[in-house]
Structure formats: C-alpha cells, structure tokens
Amino acid sequence: MKKTAMFTMGTRGDVQPYIYLAGELQRQGFDVILGSHPCWRNLIEEAGVSFEPIGPDIDIEKEAAVIRGKTSNPLLSIMKTMNFIMRIIQGATHEVYQLCEGRDLIIVTHSQIGAVEAGVLGIPTVNVTLQQEMIPQKLKKKTWKDKLIGGVISRMAAKPYNKIRKVYGLKPVKSADEIMSDRLNLIPISKYVLERNPYWSDENVITGYWYEEEPEYQPKEDLARFLEQGDRPVILALGAMSFEDRSQKEKLDLFVHAFEKTGCRAVIQGFQKTRKDYQLPDTMIFCDSVPHSWLFRQGKYVIHHCGFGTTAASFIYGILSIPVPHVLDQMGFAMQLEKAGVSSKPLQSKDLSEENLINRIEEINADYEEKRDHARMMSEKIRTEGGVSEAVRLIKEKVF
C-alpha cells in the first residue's frame, strides 16, 4: 500500500478537488492523508478521507473575507490573500515535514505546500495546477522582454519557498518552477474547456475535472416546495465571496432588486449575517449548503464568483453562468466560461451594480435556449472523461 500525503490551504474551493483525488486514491489501494486548516476537519473526514490539521486553528473563509473587504482591487486582493496563506505555509513547514516522513509520494497541490519538504526527504512528488497561467512554458523561445518580465515574476513567486528552503539549509531557487515535479503535473480541467498549450513540456497533463457523483440528495421541505411552485430559478452562489465580515445589505439588495425587475425567481446562498433580518419576496428563497451536483440541475442559470470548484460544477452539470469574478484567478476561469459560450460577458465585482447585473440577465435571456443546449452538450462530453480516475492512472504509471 503506497503511503501518500497532500496538503492544501485556502477556502473550500481550494480543498474540494483534493478530497475527490484522495477518495479515488484510497479506492485504488493508496494510504492517503490530506492536511489542511483545522476548520476543514469535518468536511474532509465526512468524505471518508484521513485528515491532519496544518497551521493555526482559524476560520479561513472569515479571514479571507476580512482581507478582501479592505481592497476592491482584484490584483491587490489576491496578493494579500496569498501573502496571508504563504505565512501560514511557512509557519507550518515542520508539521508538513513530519507528516511527509515515511511517505512514498507527496502530491504537491496548487499552493506548492510540501514540495520543499519532500525534496529534503527525497520523496517523489506529483504536482497539481489549477490555473493554466501557473504552468511554465518551457518549450517557448523567450524574447529578452519575456526573460526580463519573467525573471522578476519568477523571483517574486520563489521568495516564500526560499524562506522554507533556508530552514533546511538549501540554496535558493530562481523560480518556483524549479521545485515542481519533473514526473507529472496534473491539470484537473476538461480538454473541452482548456486547450493544451503547445509550449508545455510532456509532464503537464490535462485529466478532465475531478468530481464524484453525489448520492441522491433530499432537499429541505421549504426548498423542495419552492422549486415545485414555479419556473426554474436563478441560483446566486458566490461561495467564499459571499462570506461576510459584516452585514452587506446593500449588496444583497442589489441582487434582489435586479431579480425583481427582470422577473426572476431565485435561490440565494450565503449572506449569513445579512439574511438574519432580511425579508425576501415570495419569489426568492435563502438556501444553506447544498451539493452543486443537485442544486445546479434545478436552476435556469447560476450567478457565481468563478472559483475553481464552482466553475467546474457549472461545466459538469451543464448550467449557464453569469460570472462575477472578485479576484484575479477567478477572472481566468470567467474567461474560460465566456470562451466556451456558456455564459454572459463577465461582470467584475468592482463593476457590480443593479443596472449592470440587469444587462447581464437580459443578455443571457436573449439567446437562452441556444446557449443552454450548448452547455448541456458540453456537459455530456465532460462527464465521459473520468478525470479523477485518469489522474490516479497517471500517478501509478509515472511514479510507481
């Protein structure tokens, strides 16, 4: 039985893909532990995956909301969030090292946690990359401008990992690419969504999305009754971006008024603080955590933040999107939706207004049936890929 460890930091969308991968590895005979923030213990253990806490016991979604609330600039927001996460990763290196000891494989998740520790211990690694922009284009001939800009960015990206390397007496690297696996880098996105870059080297492999078919879900009585009483609703699912450090009534009002003016029924997730004293119209309902695999099949389209997991779910379950990206990496996933022809034009959070949201709703309604049929056709193709099984097959082939 191959002993495997992987570690991930961030919000639920940064954890969920690795729960799916860990589950499939376990089904195929691997002994797997998944390390993350202590707040994700229940989520991981309820999925039947062995969990190890890493770093301080914080509510990561609340912390991210506080950071995000202090700046509206998407680049600054993600940089501040990444710096916060990297400080946790650096502080947790000894915990990670101890959990790596005696393992046969370390799967290095998109935050690169575990890469340095595995290198010190001489343990093989496999990488996972969620954002295509983070994959080195080793086969591309670089101009002097590429080298100059790339060199600056590479040194910045390598800086936090060099701090960890210093702990173990290792020389600094010039680029974070140097600590990536030369065996295999798994890209858990569909080939029908992301075209393989010709400048990627062979170890970079697109597998298809990672997901599991959920058991038949039984909604609460009020939600089931709401869905039976009228047309398919819009689903508002901003994920961690709807986690509130404080009440945000004006933001929720914006969505509710836009839905009323366009005649939409709606299911609204999140806004936990605002919704306590908020009276929705009869055409709308608040909804707690519900599997996307069930909820997205009930909706007409989904308004979401374009996190990796929500974007993947919209493709997998064939529902159209109105993308509202909040931070830089989400903009990349929003562009994937638009390019695939399964969304409206993205509406950046800084431009979010009642008028602009109404425009996007009218845009998606204008040719709804045609786009819906296209989304369903893409879903049928995507669901044939078996992404998580393919990932495990590749791990066995390339490592063992």
Per residue in 197-230, pLDDT tens? Answer: 999 999 999 999 999 887 788 999 999 999 999 9
The residue extents of the domains of the chain are 3-209+385-399, 221-382
Which of 161-165, 241-245, 251-255 is least confident? 241-245
Q: Which of 211-215, 301-305, 332-336 has the lowest mean pLDDT?
A: 211-215
323 φ/ψ angles, rounded to the nearest 5 degrees: -80, 130
pLDDT band at 281; cut points 50, 70, 90: very high
Per-residue pLDDT at 63 exceeds 80? no
**pLDDT score for 90:** 85
Residue 376 sits at φ, ψ, to 5 deg, of -70, -35
Model confidence band, residue 245 (pLDDT cutoffs 50, 70, 90): low
The model carries a pTM of 0.91
The reply to whether domains 3-209+385-399 and 221-382 share a CATH topology is: yes
The chain-wide mean pLDDT, for the chain, equals: 89
pLDDT for the residue 316: 97
Q: Is the pLDDT of residue 89 over 80?
A: yes
pLDDT digits (tens, 9 = 90+) for 307-325: 999 999 999 999 999 999 9
Give me the CATH topology for the region 3-209+385-399: Rossmann fold (3.40.50)
What pLDDT is stored for residue 42 in this prediction? 95
- pLDDT (0 to 100) of residue 32: 97
Residue range 221-382 forms a domain whose CATH class is alpha beta
Q: Residue 208: what pLDDT?
A: 97
What's the confidence (pLDDT) of residue 277? 83
Residue among 253, 250, 302, 322 at smallest CA distance from 281: 253
Neighbours of 213 (CB within 10 A): 7
